[in-house]
Structure 1
Amino acid sequence: MAADPLAEIVTLLQPAARFSKLVECAGTWRIEREGTGEPFYCAILEGCCRVTFADHPPFMLEAGDFVLAPAMCDLVNESLDAPADLPAMLPTRLGEGHFRLGRLDGPTDLKMRIGHCSFGSPDAALLVSLLPDVVIVRREPRLGTLIQLVAEETREGRPARELVLERLLEVLLIEALRSGTQATATSGLSRGLADERLAAALSAIHARPAHAWTVADLAKEAALSRSAFFARFSRIVGLPPMEYLLAWRMALAKQLLRSREMGMDEVAERVGYGSASTFSVAFARHAGMPPARYARRSLQGELADTDRQ
């Protein structure tokens, strides 16, 4: 059975929209935002600007460009003519989800759609670590359509709004990650999937997580020697092969435990363990608590969320 690691990880992240806004800019301006660690995206509708994430080199965005940060770090966004000593500004609110920066009258030089999201997965930090720090997509019309749909759905309180937003964001993230022409990460899942040899091994892991994989088995999938595969996988994906396999199995196990649709023996079998006891030991070592306690805590958290609503 074929597997799509990127789609599986984005789905498991459980993306949800927090808010989306239209920002117009004119004249000379600069905004600074502290890193939130949450997903952030920006689409340039008109004009151009300069963006800098944390210690990464600055880059220019033009109309039709899109930038995604799966875990937003410190950000500076400014006009191309902004001097180094220009102080940061606060946007002026013009209306619901509509803001302006720089000169408040006259025509605008830049329009951009900014979105902030969140990931519901308890393993979001682990899963995000497998993605690039920043992805830049140049002139991809499909992303513009998706962003417009997200913006419309965010504003309107139609039935099934949260479900529709989750699915739209999943597609938006996947489209950005597979279309990105530039990325600032030196390692990660998307780089592994771009490597034809490693993509075969990653797809095999995701297609059969319960299989008793060894490094030698995965090296055969990648058509590489054991040592060459181990070094290449570790360098490009950022984790040794067996650590990646364990991380993915545990992420799946947590999803299955939260769903409460099967017993412990079946969960253990689904993620590659011969018995519930060996699975429990491995899970406790990874998660810091036995799987039964994790399932109870997940249920208590859901009930508490329901009571607050």
Structure 2
Amino acid sequence: MDVLSDVIAIMRTGRPRSARVEWHAPWGQRFPSAPGSAGFQVVLRGSGWLLPPGGEPVALSAGDVLFFPHGHGYAIADSPFTPVAEPACDPLEETDLFASAFIEGPGAATVLLCGGYRIDASRAHPILRDLPDLIHLPAELGRHTELRVAVDLLGAEVHRPRLGADTVVSSLLDLLLLYILRAWFDSEPGHCEVTGWAAALADPQISAVLDAVHRDPARPWTVKEMGERAGLSRAAFARRFTALVGQPPLGYLTWWRLATAARLLRESEDGLGAIAARVGYTSEFSFANAFKREHGLAPGRYRREVCPPVARSSFPGSEALKT
């Protein structure tokens, strides 16, 4: 798998959730902080205002996409001056895969597509940690074409579900997350200031090495071989990789191998020897020692005791919209 696909595979747990809500002014809704989650809002029709805590209101128009990677709270309303309703339920309460709601009012209609993903912070990729609290992708003609298509398909499927809707919606929600992250990294290559992951993915030489490592973590990689793959000397590659990624090449390789092993322990029935081999360890003993150093548990105990958390949403959903 490539880097961005791996990021999504390793960090998300359970099924995502979504809801299509047609609001009629005046309206306002608060979406509380939901640690361990990531949420999104898409303006399908009409307009509104994002009301971030402690920040200035942000005007929203049809086609705008908002993504909250760290589950921070916010509010959305038809006007910066409209009172916002508190959510009627725990935002992490289990909800359906998708829902649809209609909020009556005398004014103009705004249609929002909201949704959420449950994130396991203990195994989040550094890419996620580098993202800002809010990603706002304004609607711009001709930009982020795949994202717009995914939004249109998802909005239509949630609004009028047909046979196979569960599979379609679940797949589209994963695509939406991928396209949001892709759009951000394509358009904001200098925004990840801490470890420079956006810059790393935009750097053809470092990106090529990251892609190769993610596709074949079991390969007995050396810094020299990685440098050759990047077309750089060993020293020049190590400096550039460390500056952009935030850790040395072999340090990142070890972290990624053990993160992959943890996912395989949770999601497969492979034996420890097979998993060790798949992530580049020649013996179960060396694999077990490395895994325990990274995760605090031996692999067998990890498999027995660490169960995937119940899939929950990062948005109030239809139950919270009964205000």
TM range (shorter): 0.7 to 0.9
- Tell me the residue number matched to 2:293: 285
* Paired residue total: 289
**What displacement does 1:227 show?**
4.7
- Tell me the residue number matched to 2:215: 207
- Once superposed, what is the RMSD of the aligned Cα atoms? 3.6
Contact 2:29/2:86 (CA < 8 Å) preserved in 1?
A: yes
Contact 2:201/2:207 (CA < 8 Å) preserved in 1?
A: yes
Q: Which sits farther off after the overlay, 134-143 or 264-273?
A: 134-143
Contact 1:71/1:128 (CA < 8 Å) preserved in 2?
A: no
> What percentage of aligned pairs have identical amino acids?
28
Contact 2:265/2:303 (CA < 8 Å) preserved in 1?
A: yes
**What displacement does 1:282 show?**
0.4
Query: The residue matched to 1:129 in structure 2 has which SS?
Result: helix
Q: Deviations over 1:23-71 (max 9, x none)?
A: 42535x6544332131211111234444365678865432222122233
Distance 2:148 2:258 in 1: 35
Normalised by the length of structure 1, the TM-score is: 0.75
Query: The residue matched to 1:97 in structure 2 has which SS?
Result: strand
- Tell me the residue number matched to 2:137: 137
Query: The residue matched to 1:21 in structure 2 has which SS?
Result: strand
Q: Which sits farther off after the overlay, 53-62 or 250-259?
A: 53-62
Paired residue type of 1:173 = L
The one of the two structures with greater contact order (alpha-carbon pairs below 8 A, sep at least 6) is 2
1:98 pairs with 2:101: yes
- Tell me the residue number matched to 2:258: 250
Query: The residue matched to 2:244 in structure 1 has which SS?
Result: helix
Query: Would the alpha carbon gap of residues 235 and 90 (structure 1) be closer, same or farther in structure 2, given more than 3 Å must change?
Result: same
Contact 1:130/1:188 (CA < 8 Å) preserved in 2?
A: no
1:264 pairs with 2:267: no
1:167 pairs with 2:171: yes
Q: Deviations over 1:90-149 (max 9, x none)?
A: 489xxx632549xx31323x4322112324x68543466356334333434543442354
Contact 1:6/1:190 (CA < 8 Å) preserved in 2?
A: no
1:88 pairs with 2:79: no
Distance 2:265 2:170 in 1: 21
Q: Unaligned stretches of 5+ in structure 2?
A: 89-98, 311-323
- Tell me the residue number matched to 1:107: 108
Pick aligned residue for 1:196 from 204, 212, 220: 204
Contact 1:11/1:170 (CA < 8 Å) preserved in 2?
A: no
Query: The residue matched to 1:89 in structure 2 has which SS?
Result: coil
Q: Unaligned stretches of 5+ in structure 1?
A: none
Normalised by the length of structure 2, the TM-score is: 0.72
Distance 2:54 2:225 in 1: 39
**What displacement does 1:4 show?**
1.6
Paired residue type of 1:291 = P
Pick aligned residue for 1:222 from 230, 255, 268: 230
